């Protein structure tokens, strides 16, 4: 898995958009960007993934730069329940469910009331 770099912590006001950046300058052409989050006292939860196009689902949006060296996870209207540690992971999809996930330290997002 390619190495990723994330800020250790971020704050966001409730109701505002939370933009979480991730740098992955050594990403390979066949590697996808995955985002997981871990709410306190729970296991990590899958959020979204993408290759090069922007992706959106019911939880979040993922914006990947044209050179694919960085990405941003966007929570459009953050709530207190979004307070969690967010992990950015880069890997080939064939490894999903078969090989170990490599977690960094992630970004601790604190949503403020």
3-class SS at 109? Answer: strand
Q: How far is the C-alpha of 45 from the C-alpha of 22, rounded, in Å?
A: 18
Residue from 29, 42, 58, 81 touching other proteins (CB under 8 A): that is 42
Please identify which residue in 45, 56, 65, 79 interacts with other proteins, judged by CB under 8 A: 45
29, 43, 81, 113: which one binds other proteins (CB under 8 A):
43
- Give yes or no for residue 99 binding other proteins (CB under 8 A): yes
With contacts defined by CB under 8 A, name the span among 14-22, 23-31, 63-71, 92-100 that binds other proteins: 92-100
How big is the site for other proteins, counted in residues (CB under 8 A)? 24
32-63 per-residue burial string, b: 16 or more CB within 10 A, e: under 16 = bbbbbbbeeeeebeebbbbeeeebeeeebbbb
Pair of tokens at residue 107? 């970004």
Q: In angstroms, give the least distance from the CB of 106 to other proteins.
A: 6
Local structure of 57: helix, strand or coil: coil
Is position 113 an interface residue for other proteins (rule: CB under 8 A)? Answer: no
């Amino acid at each position: 898995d390619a190495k990723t770099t994330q800020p250790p912590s971020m704050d966001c006001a409730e109701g505002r958009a939370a933009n979480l950046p991730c740098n992955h300058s050594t990403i390979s052409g066949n590697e996808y960007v995955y985002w997981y989050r871990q709410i306190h006292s729970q296991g990590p939860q899958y959020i979204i993934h993408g290759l090069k196009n922007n992706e959106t689902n019911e939880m979040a949006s993922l914006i990947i730069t044209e050179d694919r060296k960085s990405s941003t996870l966007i929570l459009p209207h953050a709530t207190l329940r979004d307070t969690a540690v967010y992990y950015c992971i880069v890997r080939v999809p064939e490894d999903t469910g078969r090989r170990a996930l490599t977690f960094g330290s992630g970004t601790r997002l604190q949503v403020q009331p």
